[in-house]
Structure 1
Amino acid sequence: MEIIELGPDRLPEVVDLCRRALDLPEDATEAPAVVATLTERAATDRTVLRLGAIRDGVLLGVLLGSLSATDPRRGHVDLVAVAPAERRQGIGAALLTGAEARLAALGAAELLLAGNPPHYAWPGIDVRYTPAICAALRLGYRQDRTAWNMTAALTEGSPALRPTGPAEQRLAARGVTVRRAEPADLPALAAFARSVFGGTWDGELAGSLGRPDAGTHLAERAGEILGFAAYGSARPSWFGPMGTAPAAEGSGIGGVLLRRCLQDQAAAGISAAQIGWVGPVPFYSGAAGARIERVFFLYRKAIKGA
């Protein structure tokens, strides 16, 4: 077996392996979107690493990693997948060791087993992927954070699909317009996200606008953006990010924007939306009946200069 860097021509093999290797159905089903997010979209603003474990020309395992878009001294492992029949043979450990060496050579001093916004598949390692957690601990990674997703049911009668019309009328009476964002809105939305929230939400908004399986809604008054909500940046079933200007908090804007996005996802045939890397749990619980479902451990390790 050897660890090699994979070219774009082998990405269909990567998708096929992920479909077979990702044990959670929601991950396996959206494997094409996950791989596209971590390779094609991620390559627009960072250095991307694609490693494969190969034996006799057959792909046995894959690792997708990257350098941080904001701090090149930090590397990320975004995905590790090993073919079910090849597990417990050290393939995952070999891929991680290979990633450490290659990312260190690119200048990284620390490696995170954690999502690398704005293009990420998961916040960290889902606690149900127990072998991955065991491998991380064996290789000297330490847990430093916990994150979680919430799930909103998009079936008939769900609180997530409550009509937004009455609330939108109340907002209109106060001069607030709620509408679907267009690609031409991206510069203003990105500037709003950067100035109010910082971080990388502007990149996630860019991934949500202008694609058939994604979208963004916004609220504005007299041309001033008051809030936004987006979905589909990482994959079709995921919601986020969303944000409301501090001065507009408590106005009901957030709940309207959230449910408009969830209604779009339901119309596309999605039966449950994942609200990724959640902060305000009570808001999503009250506005959409969402519940905490996926829990992730995030790990880190110094990879040079120790």
Structure 2
Amino acid sequence: MTEVVYRHYASGDEKAIVELWNDCLHHDPITPLRFRNMVLLDANFDPEGLRLAFEGERLVGFVYSVRRLLPMVGTELEPDNGWITAFAVAPDKRRQGIGSRLVREAFDFLIRHGRKHVFFSSYAPNYFVPGVDEESYPEGYAFLLKHGFARLYSPVAMDYSLVRYSMPDDVKALKRAREAEGYAFGLAQDRDLVDVIRFAGDVFNPDWGRAIREGVLRGLPLSAIHVARENGRLVGFCMHAGYEGVAERFGPFGVDPSQQGKGLGKILLHDCLTNMRAQGLHGAWFLWTGETTTAGHLYKKLGFEITRRFHVCKKSFEN
């Protein structure tokens, strides 16, 4: 029997990692380009955190752990937190202790760098999925529970078919009424960028502001970003194609909390879907929302369907 050798990532391992990933994570395959962009080019990537198990020349398991080296906002490095964003063991090598050894090595890596908590897998900016999909990977979820993780909450992914979409008449009427009250809706222009990025990051999530800034730098057209203003003040935005340049990926999307209840989110959402359909897109989807949040209710009321459910999990290390 060939001995299993454990080590961290080294140059040249990429092809084997992507192949094992795609053999095991069948509902979440990646390409070499996506692995490069999301892992190797991540400013927070540390080769020591990508733990590998080899049987001879064959890669039979990996666990990818990461901690923040570059702040998401300001100088905040979240020094107590680390993340595991993906793991896999070859099907014929499971229940032999390989995954357990790899995850212990990932824990050791994070503990050496002062981390007190580890999450699966709510890591920004480069998460592949928000958490573990129990339906797709029941063994993976059981593995996390076995190693001390506990479920925190369960966001959902949703999809919406645009094939027969048209903006409802009541939304058109609502938009006209709000415009008569001083609201303005339109596509973003250069003069909107600073306000949109600041609004998205400060009011909602720093990752949203980052996604917009980096998306535009990568070539995201401003025609993918919709804005709402009240007498000149930005009060909401909605967009698509903001993540990895995937045109049908919807979001981020937000309305000033003080403006909620006026249907501004509904207007922005339908403006964006109308624009997506006009570009010939056949669907809209996103990975992460709270099922019972205001946005979640709006999506479901429109007709978005829940297509996946994820469990965000957390483990705290003992002192």
Residues 1:33 and 1:182: Cα distance change in structure 2 (over 3 Å): farther
Aligned to 1:292: 306
| Unaligned segments of structure 1, at least 5 residues | none
Aligned to 2:21: 18
Q: Which amino acid is 1:35 matched to?
A: F
Pair 1:81-2:88 in alignment: yes
| Unaligned segments of structure 2, at least 5 residues | 72-76
1:50-65 alignment, distance < 5 Å: 50-65=50-65
Residues 1:53 and 1:231: Cα distance change in structure 2 (over 3 Å): farther
Structure 1 residue 294: deviation in Å?
Answer: 1.9
Looking at structure 2, the residues matched to 275 and 265 of structure 1 have their Cα atoms a distance apart, in angstroms, of 18
Pair 1:229-2:238 in alignment: yes
1:152-171 alignment, distance < 5 Å: 152-158=159-165, 168-171=175-178
Pair 1:301-2:315 in alignment: yes
Aligned residues: 297
Looking at structure 2, the residues matched to 94 and 233 of structure 1 have their Cα atoms a distance apart, in angstroms, of 37
8 Å Cα contact 2:163/2:282 also seen in 1? no
Looking at structure 2, the residues matched to 153 and 21 of structure 1 have their Cα atoms a distance apart, in angstroms, of 28
Residues 1:75 and 1:246: Cα distance change in structure 2 (over 3 Å): same
1:184-195 alignment, distance < 5 Å: 185-195=192-202
8 Å Cα contact 2:129/2:287 also seen in 1? no
Larger Rg: 1 or 2?
A: 2
Aligned to 2:74: none
Q: Which amino acid is 1:248 matched to?
A: Q
Aligned to 1:138: 146
Return the TM-score normalized by structure 2: 0.77
Q: Which amino acid is 1:134 matched to?
A: A
Structure 1 residue 65: deviation in Å?
Answer: 2.3
Q: Secondary structure at the match of 1:209?
A: helix
Residues 1:195 and 1:220: Cα distance change in structure 2 (over 3 Å): same
Q: Which amino acid is 1:122 matched to?
A: V
Aligned to 2:134: 127
Aligned to 1:277: 289
Residues 1:229 and 1:118: Cα distance change in structure 2 (over 3 Å): farther
Structure 1 residue runs of 4 or more that deviate by more than 6 Å after TM superposition: none
Looking at structure 2, the residues matched to 6 and 263 of structure 1 have their Cα atoms a distance apart, in angstroms, of 45
Q: Deviations over 1:57-112 (max 9, x none)?
A: 33323322222554121111111123344433333322211110111111212212
Q: Deviations over 1:184-229 (max 9, x none)?
A: 7443222212332355432233344344678433223454211112
Aligned to 1:92: 99
Looking at structure 2, the residues matched to 40 and 256 of structure 1 have their Cα atoms a distance apart, in angstroms, of 39
Pair 1:216-2:225 in alignment: yes
